[in-house]
Amino acid sequence: MREAVHAATLAELVDKGYAALTVEGVAQRAGVHKTTVYRRWKDRESLLVDALAEHLAVDVPVPDTGTIEGDLRALARSLVQSYTSPTGRAVLAAMFTGAAGLPEIAAAGGHVFRDRLTRAEPVVRRAVERGELPAGTDPGEVLKTLAAPVYLRLLVTGDPVDETTADQAARVTLAAALAGAFVPR
Amino acid sequence: MREAVHAATLAELVDKGYAALTVEGVAQRAGVHKTTVYRRWKDRESLLVDALAEHLAVDVPVPDTGTIEGDLRALARSLVQSYTSPTGRAVLAAMFTGAAGLPEIAAAGGHVFRDRLTRAEPVVRRAVERGELPAGTDPGEVLKTLAAPVYLRLLVTGDPVDETTADQAARVTLAAALAGAFVPR
């Protein structure tokens, strides 16, 4: 039941947007009674936070291509794919714009970001172990630098986001990492 | 009159937030009649877009310290200062979160960003002329990489933004630029 309600929540979000999202609409789409939904989630905000967290936890796989260049490129491309799908666009809009006035949703956005970051850190640690990157390279800083231009385009400039964006982000991040710019001073 | 109304608009935005911003409130604070405001701006959205554009056009000065390292650090620090002041926080919230459902405001955010970017491009061009950076370095890409981690923290992660953030952004951007990562392939 939980999965069906999560899927229905995201589908409603994509179709109708955050402002028109209702527990009734989600229940109807999931084929359950709305009291069943209310038994588990107290309101539409907690339902949405839960669905977003679940969606985003599995949506960006952590690569292991054997090189830091390959891994950074794969990560950046997954991030771009994740946010340029219809669900991804709706998820992004819900987390960082339309519903950002709601503290729970804003907190969920930050939480999901940190969660993804932590799961991807082995990519950087393996590169340090292989001797590809300088000892002491900060994994979190590397990964934030990789993700930042994608979010900048999605949330600020509105420029197109595609594979070229991902590859350029990987190129810049790798060059800075090789130069030791992520080793704390 | 225009300047007084702009200043009153931003002051109202800081005090009350976007949702509670009204033309009446702005007029009262500026000491003018609301019909005077309506003669010039058709609604609160156009008033706000105008005030934001004016505020942001002058708020990040373009440095000329003599080195690309100094210029990038000064630019990043100005950007951080601009968004961590009370007015800056309110401006950011209005442009990229609370009011982002309004196409005019979202477009203003993107427009203001591009405007700032264009004004700062000489920083990179001068560095290329001085031989500090490789020929063909793309100024826009350098400056977006510099700004991206600041926006990521402000809009996504909610991590603190301070001088350390600015200096680290400058360090990473400089390392990538020196390595030629902003020369189109």
Domain chopping of chain A, boundaries: 2-50, 60-178
Per-residue pLDDT tens over the stretch B18-41: 778 899 999 999 999 999 999 999
pLDDT tens sequence across B89-113 = 777 777 766 544 566 666 777 777 8
**Residues in chain A, overall count:** 185
Least confident of A127-131, B8-12, B98-102, B113-117: B98-102
CB A78 within 8 A of CB A170: no
Residue B114: name the closest of B166, B56, B165 by CA.
B56
**Do residues A63 and A71 lie in contact, with contact meaning Cβ atoms separated by under 8 Å?**
yes
What Å distances lie between residue A146 and A28, A32, B41, B102, B174, CA to CA?
A: 40, 41, 41, 29, 15
- Examine the pLDDT at A100 and tell me if it is beyond 90: no
Q: What architecture (CATH level 2) is domain A60-178? A: Orthogonal Bundle (1.10)
B18 neighbors B93 (Cβ within 8 angstroms): yes
Give the number of beta-carbon pairs within 8 Å between A and B: 104
Higher pLDDT: A57 or A22? It is A22
For domain A2-50, give the CATH number: 1.10.10.60
Q: State how far the Cα of B84 lies from the Cα of B162, in Å rounded to an integer.
A: 8
Q: Do domains A2-50 and A60-178 have the same CATH topology?
A: no
CB contact under 8 A, B157 and A113: yes
Q: Which among A19, A107, A149 is the nearest to B144, CB-wise?
A: A149
The answer to whether the beta carbons of residues A151 and A91 sit under 8 Å apart is no
Distance CA B45, CA B21 (A): 10
User: Sign of dihedral through CA atoms A23, A28, A30, A33?
Assistant: positive
Tokens representing B15 are 């005090």
What is the per-residue pLDDT for B161? 95
State chain A's mean pLDDT as an integer. 89
Please provide the distance, in angstroms rounded to a whole number, between the alpha carbons at the two ends of chain A. Answer: 50
Name the CATH topology of B61-178: Tetracycline Repressor; domain 2 (1.10.357)
Structure tokens at A21: 């999202």
Question: How far is the alpha carbon of B89 from chain A, nearest alpha carbon, in Å?
Answer: 14
Q: How many CA atoms lie within 13 A of B28 on its CB side?
A: 6
Q: Contacts of residue A101 in chain B, CB cutoff 8 Å?
A: 19, 97-98
Side chain identity at A49, as an amino acid letter? V
Mean pLDDT of B167-173: 98
Query: For residue A104, what pLDDT is reported?
Result: 67
**CA–CA min distance B172, chain A (Å):** 5
Residues with Cβ within 8 Å of residue A85, at least 6 apart in sequence: none
Least confident of A30-44, A97-111, B29-43, B113-127: A97-111
| The pLDDT value given to residue B141 | 97
Is B113 an 8 Å CB contact of chain A? Answer: yes
* Shortest alpha-carbon distance between residue B53 and chain A (Å): 14
pLDDT of residue A103: 65
Mean pLDDT of A130-153: 97
